Structure 1
């Protein structure tokens, strides 16, 4: 894992993925997982904490940019949407890490599960973008208990896959009518917080389970994260310049592409 080609590939992949996905509130970890498995050869289940490590290092670049741009969501850690998302995803990611290590360590079934979630969401968002224009009104956050329950479920999936939850929360909330300028910083902040908790949970499990590939591959996670740190900052700069319809369609297309990639990889196993 320390050869120059692997390290360079990790950094470039992190930069490109974060730059493309940050404007729609996704860290890029959902796409880094197949890169780890197919190009970098990271073993299971170490791919999950490595993804979480990528999130920890990469997302601050985008969050700093959103904070400097005076995003209408307000302070990133105190706006109501972020607080509800974090409260739900944190316990979910801890439970998901336990499920990943002790109940379903293999990658095949989880690819099908994530694809089953992302594919209909992506198609729905693309259809909404093509059929009607974005609603020109102030966003209304759904009830806290609905978002909290959703965040809990997404946190479990995020703990299993190491995607932090933003990749799933963002299309769901945007599909409910919330604008990406509100959802993107909240989803990325949630991803950052839950990734710290998830990485800590995996580290504790690794200490109790010697001999297994549970701890993150530090070189891959850190270098991909450093690339993502730069790419996330650049992606956050691009977001205000893109129309809402474009961002919504891009998010839907990313979800569909991710789902199809997971299905293709699962069928090849």
Structure 2
């Protein structure tokens, strides 16, 4: 899909996805990937830096709303930033040189999202008391998630959010911290991809038009999503996050499954 139709589809996708995902601390880039690969036909691995560009443009909308509500000043935000920012730079390098193919990429994404989504749904049905992991453990986990996020093009916070929520942390605390780390890590990752595009023949540069237009849609949708979050039930948000992560993982697995010739 090209021209005005592709631009309109990118903006609409960014807007609608951000409205749904922002309340649970997900930027929406994780769900923009199927739109890029299946609808807009963006080549791999250019889809990953395009996702990161989307996060950079869309992030300030939700962050502005959370900042006004005083939800960004906390130790959890600092822990996530300390881990995901360097991790996503490592992941970006792995994505370009080791996982350039779309099929392998989808299988990696499915392997992360399906168990994570199922686990979160189970923890929501049978909740456990909140736990506060040591600073080093959270930062180390954030680094590992940042590497995966750099490969996947989601900045890392979109995976870290479900993990923390599954451990019993409230969505109202996790969502702002996860989005802040996603924004910072995505900015770092986008710069790394831009540098790699100058030193390799692989298509590592983002699709600038799509990333910017989808990001503008996400900018508006993210603000709206952050605005309505306090009015949504906690368990409903947890289930929404778990179900959507599982559904996207299953979709990726199905698209990567060998078809009979």
Is TM > 0.5 for Structure 1 vs Structure 2? yes
RMSD: 1.6
Gaps of 5+ in 2: none
Write the deviation string for residues 121-168 of structure 1: whole angstroms up to 9, x where unpaired. Answer: 211221232235x85xxx653111111111111111111111111221
Structure 1 residue matching 2:85: 3-state secondary structure: helix
- Is the 2:84–2:157 contact (alpha carbons within 8 Å) kept by the matching residues of 1? no
Aligned length: 259
Aligned counterpart in structure 2 of residue 146 of structure 1, from 137, 140, 157: 137
Aligned counterpart in structure 2 of residue 190 of structure 1, from 181, 187, 204: 181
- 2 CA distance for matches of 1:82 and 1:249? 23
TM-superposed deviation, 1:114: 2.1
Aligned counterpart in structure 1 of residue 115 of structure 2, from 116, 120, 137: 120
TM-superposed deviation, 1:110: 2.5
Aligned twin of 1:40: 40
After superposition, residues 195-210 of structure 1 pair within 5 angstroms as: 195-209=186-200
TM-superposed deviation, 1:176: 0.8
Change (3 A) 1:66 1:173: same
Runs (4+) off by over 6 Å? none
Write the deviation string for residues 76-124 of structure 1: whole angstroms up to 9, x where unpaired. Answer: xxx2111111111111111111111111211222222222222122112
Aligned twin of 1:100: 95
Aligned twin of 1:241: 231
- 1 CA distance for matches of 2:116 and 2:203? 32
Gaps of 5+ in 1: none
